[in-house]
Amino acid sequence: MRYWLGELQSLVNHMEDRGWDAWARDHARSVIDFFSHTARQHHIDVDRQVCPLITGRGDASIELSVDRLRQDQGWLEENWREVLAQLQPVAEGFGGYDIDMLRHASDVYAALLLEHLALEQSAVFPAARASAHTQLQAMEMRRSGAHLSAAA
């Protein structure tokens, strides 16, 4: 994701310096594709696969982190639409963007996403790894207990 944030910044910088051209059009398409599909799917996957591992276990700080992560996803989606409104005409070959709006929206989006990723890396993912490890150990203990019962 950080790579693509850099690509978004490069695109905005290019458009500030050189305006809209074929490179900007092609790059806008790639940036749109990543953030509209891959990044969005990442958020869905985290919500469906990671958050259930750590919620409902009585850890208030983790619950707060998950709530914040989900709230961030709403803000990210809303802000992405602002970025997209400026990039879509460029990607479709029409130009028709406001560079000041694009710069502001992309800066806000980048700041939100970096904060969101930091929360995932510092709290949510470590808690999910610990939970998965605990669940795996419990499964192994049950399995070894079943083998001992069957052998007796």
How many angstroms separate the CA atoms of 110 and 140, rounded? 42
DSSP letters of 129-140?
Answer: HHHHHHHHHHHH
pTM of the model: 0.84
Which residues lie closer than 8 Å to 8 by C-beta, 6 or more apart? 31, 35, 83, 106, 109, 110
| pLDDT per residue as tens digits for the range 68-100 | 999 999 999 999 999 999 999 999 998 889 999
Look at phi and psi of residue 93 and say left if phi exceeds 0, alpha if psi is from -120 to 50, else beta.
left
151 pLDDT higher than 60: no
Domains in the chain, number: 1
Residue 37: domain span:
2-151
| CATH number of the domain residue 128 falls in | 1.20.120.520
Q: Is 28 helix (H, G, I), strand (E, B) or coil?
A: helix
